[in-house]
Amino acid sequence: MGIGQELRDVLNEETVNRILQEALARGGDAADLFAEQRFRTSIVLDSGKIDSVTYGYPRGGGVRVVLRNQTGYAFSDELTYNSLLDAARVASSVVETQSRANPIDVTRRTLLPPFTLVNPEPLMPEAGKLDILRRMDAAARAADPRIVSVRIEYMDDVRDVLIGTSEGIYVIDRQYLTSIACTPIAQAGGKRGSGLATLGGRIDADYFAQVSPEDAAQRAALQAVRLMEAGPAPAGPMPVVVAPGWGGVLIHESLGHALEADGIRRGTSLLAGLQGTRVASPLVRVVDDARWPNGRGSYAMDDEGAPGQRTVAVEGGILQSYLVDKQNGRLLTQKSTGNGRRMSYRNWPIPRMTNTYIDKGTSDPASLLNGITKGLYAAELGGGSVETTSGNFNFAVREGYWIENGKLTRPVRGAVLVGNSLETMQRIEGIGNDLKVETTRGTCGKDGQQVPVGVGQPTVRFSSITVGGPSI
């Protein structure tokens, strides 16, 4: 069946026109309809056994009415013309004025996909998926006798969306996503450590011909063993060097969220009113790119029907552009940058990041350790969070190494790094030429909505960050 055909059967241009007209019957600046149908497969393998196999088939649609800064939103789990017409009426009740809208006439638009998948991984037969998981399990166990448990979680998602807007847009898209997480646990002498490897992204089935599932699982197992043996991290401010790739969690938390247009429009973000001013070291270029190949945050269009694009948010340390959705864009008189996203048809769109990274610099990554007498090398980060009003942010270091006299020495674990966005970004004193964008992991939560994202960076050196380990 064609992409989005089942959605189109319920919602052709004509029915969408009528629903949007009903949504704007009491007035409003704009209205949109978002319909979605997903098919998800998830498989959990725990201690060598296929624990559970799950199919998910959620489907529904939501209608939004916007008047200036006001939003009305209603949705239905039942995808029928009548239930969406009801949703339109409920959403319109946010409008208290009594103007009438012009007739709406949506036209089908074609999309320019950021990349093309020939044989998307989620469409592979289940036997192939199960085989990969079993191979990973075996490889993780074989890596070291101290591996006592291995959990592997596989999830894929085929998401069809249909969007109609009062601006006249009618678009249909299909988005594929695959995620695999392998978590081995090592245990010996009363000590434990956990490792992590992730695979996937918006990928073709032949991905596994290039990326070895066994190697990934083995890496995770060896990490679990290393972390079991790692000592406590130090506490206090010190020079920090963050490894490339997933280290981009740092830019996501420190500046990324504060760039989102809702906080800018409300004046609650610390970056409000700072366009054209210095917000980071002159070495820093920050890019949000919805077109990065295979990225978890990549798409042809966002969840408001705006094309996904590459936005240079910070150039030479100067703030160039916010990350803008349609409603906040209207209020700020700025164009949407294609960053209006939602978790599902049950949520209204809000400005979100896609794949966000610090662009590559000129330094040889190895040279970035030079001259550090005592400091921390953050080899792998965990999660992080930020309060965009104050700019206070944190991110966890899963695997770290103590730096002494420009050399990596003993492994450390159990530290979070904390800082203030603007201060910390000014302290970037070296950026490597080894840019890596992580496309296999990254889920960002905001306002109760979880969306897949990518993050990235080259090796980055900070003159000082506060490290929160237990040892003084």
Partner 1 sequence: MPRQPAYDLADKVRVQAERSGAQEVETYLETNTTIEVRIRQGQLELLSQSAIQGLGLRMFRDRRMGFFYTTDLRETVLTELVNRTLALTNEATPREENKLPEYLASSQSDLEIYDPAVVQLRPEDLVKMARAAEDSAFAKNERIQTTRDVRCGASLYEVFFSNTFIARQTFRATSVWLAATPIATEGAQKREGTYVDRKRFLSDLARPEQIGERAAERALARLGAAAVASGRVPVVFSAEAAAIFLQGLFPALSALNVIEQRSFLAGKIGQPVAGPSVTIIDDGTMRRGLGTRYFDGEGVQTHRTVLVERGILRQYVHSAATARRMNVPATGNGIRSYDSLPTIGPTNFYIDAFSKTRPLIEDVAQGLYVNGLAGFGMDTVSGEYSQQVDGHWIEKGVLAKPVEGVTVAGRLDEMLLGIDAVGRDLDFRNNIASPTIRFKELTVGGAA
| Residues of span 358-397 touching partner 1 by CB under 8 A | 382-385, 387, 389-390, 392-396
Q: Looking only at residues 443 through 472 of this chain, which bind partner 1 when binding is defined by CB under 8 A?
A: 466-472
Residues 34-53 that bind partner 1 (CB under 8 A): 46-53
Kindly state the smallest distance separating residue 132's Cβ from partner 1, in Å.
13
Among 19, 23, 79, 205, binds partner 1 (CB under 8 A): 79
* The binder of partner 1 chosen from 115, 128, 266, 445 (CB under 8 A): 266
**Residue 257 touching partner 1 (CB under 8 A):** no
Give me the residues paired with residue 160 across strands: 37, 174
CB proximity list for 341: less than 8 A, separation 6 or greater: 302, 303, 325, 349, 350, 351, 352, 354, 449, 451
Report the site for partner 1 in 119-178 (rule: CB under 8 A): 126-127, 130, 148-149, 151
If binding is defined by CB under 8 A, does position 192 make contact with partner 1? yes
Return the structure tokens found at 421.
């966005």
Residue closer to partner 1, measured from CB, 354 or 421: 421
For partner 1, give the closer residue by CB, 294 or 421: 421
The contact pattern for partner 1, residues 53-72, with x = CB under 8 A and - = no contact, is xxxxxxxx--------xxxx
Nearer to partner 1, 220 or 301 (CB): 220
- Binding residues for partner 1 restricted to 413-432, rule: CB under 8 A: 413-416, 418-420
DSSP-derived pairing of the beta strands 454-457 and 355-358? parallel
Tell me how far apart the alpha carbons of residues 177 and 405 are, in angstroms, rounded to a whole number. Answer: 43
Stretch that binds partner 1, among 15-23, 24-32, 262-270, 305-313 (CB under 8 A): 262-270
Dihedral angle, C-alpha 183, 188, 190, 192, nearest 10 °: -20
Between residue 287 and residue 316, which ones bind partner 1 under the rule CB under 8 A?
none
**Binding residue (CB under 8 A) for partner 1 from 187, 212, 320, 463:** 187
- Smaller CB separation from partner 1, 248 or 432: 248
Beta pairing class for 407-413 and 231-232: parallel
Measured CA to CA, the distance from residue 306 to residue 338 in angstroms comes to 5
- Distance in Å, CB of 74 to partner 1, minimum: 5
Ordered alpha helix ranges (H), 267-374: 326-332
Residue closer to partner 1 by CB (options 151, 427) is: 151
One of 348, 357, 377, 402 touching partner 1 (CB under 8 A) = 348
Alpha helices per DSSP H over 267-366: 326-332
The closest alpha carbon to 172, from 160, 184, 155, belongs to: 160
- Angstrom distances, CA of residue 13 to CA of 20, 74, 170: 11, 20, 7
Say if residue 14 is exposed, middle or buried (CB neighbours under 10 Å; 0-12, 13-18, 19+).
exposed
Looking at the chain, how many residues does it have? 472
Q: In whole angstroms, how close is the CB of 209 to partner 1 at the nearest point?
A: 23
Cβ of residue 104: shortest distance to partner 1, in angstroms? Answer: 22
> Of 8, 28, 75, 461, which one interacts with partner 1 (CB under 8 A)?
75
Contact indicator for 389, 262 with CB cutoff of 8 Å: no
CA distance 312 to 310: 7
Q: Closest CB to partner 1 among 51 and 215? A: 51
Query: Site residues for partner 1, window 90-119 (CB under 8 A)?
Result: 90-91, 93-94
Comparison of 105 and 144: residue with beta carbon closer to partner 1: 144
What tokens does 470 get?
């237990």
For partner 1, how many residues bind (rule: CB under 8 A)? 81
Q: Give the binding range for partner 1 (CB under 8 A) out of 27-35, 135-143, 224-232, 328-336.
A: 224-232
Select from 28, 193, 411, 432 the one that contacts partner 1 (CB under 8 A): 193
- Count of alpha carbons within 13 angstroms of residue 452, beta-carbon side: 23
Q: How far is the CB of 253 from partner 1 (least distance, A)?
A: 9
Return the CA Rg of the chain.
24
Min CB(350)–partner 1 separation in Å:
10
Using DSSP, state whether 98 is helix, strand or coil: coil
Of 18, 109, 346, 427, which one interacts with partner 1 (CB under 8 A)?
Answer: 346
End-to-end CA distance of the chain: 63
Tokens of 124: 């592979």
